[in-house]
Amino acid sequence: MPYVTTADGTQIHYTDWGTGQPVILSHGWPLSSDAWAVELKLLADNGYRAIAHDRRGHGKSSGPWEGNDMDTYAADLNALVEHLDLHDIVLVGHSTGGGEVVRYAAQYGAGRVAKVFTAGAVPPIMVKSESNPDGTPIEAFDGLRASVLADRSQFYEELATPFYGANRDGATVSQGLIDDFWRQGMNVNIKAAYDCIKAFSESDFTEDLKALDVPIFIAQGDDDQIVPVADAAEKSIKLVKNGTLKLYKGAPHGIAGAYQQELDQDILAFIKS
């Protein structure tokens, strides 16, 4: 089972399939690289080297007490890239992973990163403040933290419903998908799950987005109930130099069903473009 050891001794687990141009996929919270299983196979089948890692404290990676912050996540990704000596990379990030790949590309990606693709990503910044009056109030994130501490098992079961839009009329979200969301969530250690809420909600990616000099495709469902589209994709596209914005009608935050099928074809097309 492949791991890379970071500067602080954390072991980051990763999957590495196929050959060709490398595509690195970064998962959302509270998931793991398992969330990219379909995309890993799809990319490898289409002639790419598909790589997905478990963020520290998530999935099969080790979970130290420290380092559950966006700067360290980006540094961990850099350790993986250097370990595999990757170049001409396409980065794909969902939700929290979208923030991770944007920060990595801005701070470490020069000469290595060719393109960036985000889906339902948290940039530029989620939390409400004087400088971001349209953001989500801090009390909402405090509520997430309280739920993780109180009964995270029940919380993850309930969170899966809005995450995948199962509460919408006509939704066809399977119980299996909800169960798998719960399974991945329960594999995140409680410290990492708790700390990551601050990382994804309070990290400011404004300067990272401005610094990107490679093409970026910014994708988001227009019915995202987790990351408000008006405060995420629609703001991010205004900050990047070479961006494409696509909103998916009726699509939720979680990547599944018809949304996943369309998104995956867009990922392949963007890589080839």
- List, by residue number, the catalytic residues: 95, 224, 253
Domain extents in the chain: 3-272
Mean pLDDT of successive 10-residue stretches along the chain, which has 273 residues: 94 98 98 98 98 98 97 98 98 98 97 98 97 95 98 98 97 96 98 98 98 98 97 98 98 98 98 96
- Tell me which CATH code domain 3-272 carries: 3.40.50.1820
- What tens digit of pLDDT does each residue of 214-262 get? 999 999 999 999 999 999 999 999 999 999 999 999 999 999 999 999 9
**C-alpha distances in Å from residue 181, one per residue of 22, 43, 137, 185:** 27, 22, 25, 6
Report d(CA 187, CA 31) in Å as an integer. 8
Q: Which token pair is 138?
A: 């801090």
- What tens digit of pLDDT does each residue of 130-158 get? 999 999 999 999 999 999 999 999 999 99
Angle between helices 96-108 and 190-202 (to 10 degrees): 70
